[in-house]
Amino acid sequence: MSHAVSPLALPFPDLPPIAGATPRVARARYKEWDRCDLTFVTLDPGTSVAGVVTQSKCPSPEVEWCSKALVLGEARALVVNAGNSNAFTGNRGRAAVEAIAARTAAQLGCQPSDVFVASTGVIGVPLPIDKAEAGLDAAFAATPANWRAAAEAIGTTDTYPKGAVSTAIVDGRTVTLVGIIKGSGMIAPDMATMLGFIFTDAAVDAPFLQGALNGANARTFSCITVDGDTSTSDTVLAFATGKAGNTPLADDDSPGADAFRAALADLCHQLAQLVVRDGEGASKLIEITVEGADSDRSAHRIAMSIANSPLVKTAIAGEDANWGRIVMAVGKAGEPAERDKLAIRFGTTQVASGGLAVEGYDEAPVAAHLKGSEVEIGVDLGLGEGRATVWTCDLTHGYISINADYRS
């Protein structure tokens, strides 16, 4: 992780252990750095799994591997490599994933398809199998680690470790969910995010877990953007060990189904926010709400058009209430909009309405709002009931510095 911690960083919470999930970390030395960069989590037999992966048409071999394994719904291990994404590496990349899964399966006495693999880092460099296998052997022999150590080991350009916890009452028992996530740049998930891993002691059938994760993802990970760039490696996986002893959640009629869905959604919301707070070079967290759209889908597209606009993001970085840039981003989104019905606000201050500036509006409260570390932008299209909220960050010189020097 880099040293200049984001000014928007939140402290790492106290994450409890999850029965049936044991993290370990090791040094595979995928890059020349003095830190752990391989994370290995063993999962007890009977653990179910669900996941969402990148919509990129150039996915990594790890993403393809996880997509196939998810169909089976069972998991015994997770291996995460940091410093090398193994993406765009052809047969050599596929061979590396197969070698990792095979070695882990042999260690645990399970099927290779029970092993989930994720990698993050530079694109285009095959993952060195010798380093991966040596790192795995070190992880197999390591003493169990805590979730913070696991969160630190999966980071790349992250400036701080990211974790969250949530609980729910299911079938009369308290179940716990913890999550760790990494992500800072190349963030515009089209379904999932960077790399995120969720562990719960709840007993949950894989199909229900998948549905709950899909629902949570749509309102969280798929509503954040740092730079509009979707990674080749984005993966979020949720593992349920069943150790809480509740009657397995099978459908929405199961006792505690709603409570579990809510807890998972809360956890995903926390994790997604942590990623945006660590946006490369970020100094402000921006929440954009679009309402009055033709549909929720239309509202989401317009909100993302605003969130991904370099002109909007640089204006916020400069604390400039240039609402004309928001008009521009609404107009280019390709979604229904009528100029003379459009209304825009910063914080609680309405700055434009009915297609023009609010007459005599006082810019002082807007300027004060933009000086804060958290900025709200509201748009009302005046067309229908569609609504969406997304989160992004400002665009500063820091983003250029980090990405111009990324490989050096």
Instruction: Look at residue 278 and tell me whether its pLDDT is greater than 60.
Output: yes
Checking if the pLDDT of 406 tops 80, the result is no
Asked if residue 6 is part of any domain, the answer here is no
> Does residue 316 share a domain with residue 248?
no
**Residue located via tokens 């809360």:** 266
DSSP 350: E
State the pLDDT confidence band at 185, using cuts at 50, 70 and 90.
Answer: confident
pLDDT (0 to 100) of residue 229: 79
Q: Is residue 5 part of a domain?
A: no
For residue 11, is it left (φ>0), alpha (ψ between -120 and 50) or beta?
beta
Cβ count near 185 (within 10 Å): 22
CATH assignment at residue 360:
3.10.20.340
pLDDT band at 90 (very low <50, low <70, confident <90, very high): very high
Q: What is the pLDDT of residues 100-154, one digit of tens each?
A: 999 999 999 999 999 999 999 888 999 999 999 999 999 999 999 999 999 999 9
Instruction: Kindly report, residue by residue over 48-58, the tens digit of the pLDDT.
Output: 999 999 888 88
Print the domain residue range for 83: 21-277
Q: Is residue 81 part of an annotated ligand binding site?
A: no
The one-letter code for the residue type at 317 is A
> pTM value?
0.95
Within a domain: residue 70?
Answer: yes
Q: Above pLDDT 90, what percent of the chain? A: 86
- Has residue 10 been placed in a domain? no
Q: What average pLDDT does this structure show over 346-357?
A: 95
pLDDT of 157: 86
Determine contact, residues 176/16, Cβ cutoff 8 Å: yes
Residue whose structure tokens are 């997304």: 390
Task: Tell me whether residue 85 is annotated as binding.
Answer: no
> Is 168 found in the same domain as 220?
yes
Provide the residue count of the chain: 408
Q: Which residues pair with 55 in a beta bridge?
A: none
Residue 9 lies in a domain: no
Question: Are 109 and 248 contained in the same domain?
Answer: yes
Mean pLDDT across the chain? 94
Number of domains in the chain: 2
Choosing from 277, 308, 334, the residue where a domain stops is 277
Residue 383 included in any domain: yes
pLDDT score of 328: 96
Q: 281 in the Ramachandran plot: left (φ > 0), alpha (ψ -120 to 50) or beta? A: left
- Whether 28 shows a pLDDT value over 60: the answer reads yes
**Last residue of some domain: 218, 243, 277?**
277
Please say which residue of 215, 245, 277 terminates a domain: 277
Say how far apart CA 92 and CA 76 lie, in whole Å.
25
pLDDT attached to residue 189: 67
Residues 239 and 294 in one domain: no
Q: Residue 243, annotated ligand binder?
A: no
Three-class DSSP category at 269: helix
Rounded CA separation 36/38 (Å): 6
| DSSP for residue 322 | -
Same domain flag for 268 and 381: no
CA dist 21 and 96 (Å) reads 24
Q: Which residues are catalytic?
A: 193
What value does the mean pLDDT take over residues 62-69?
96
* 226/289 same-domain check: no
Q: What is the CATH number of the domain that holds 88?
A: 3.60.70.12
408 is known to lie in a ligand binding site: yes
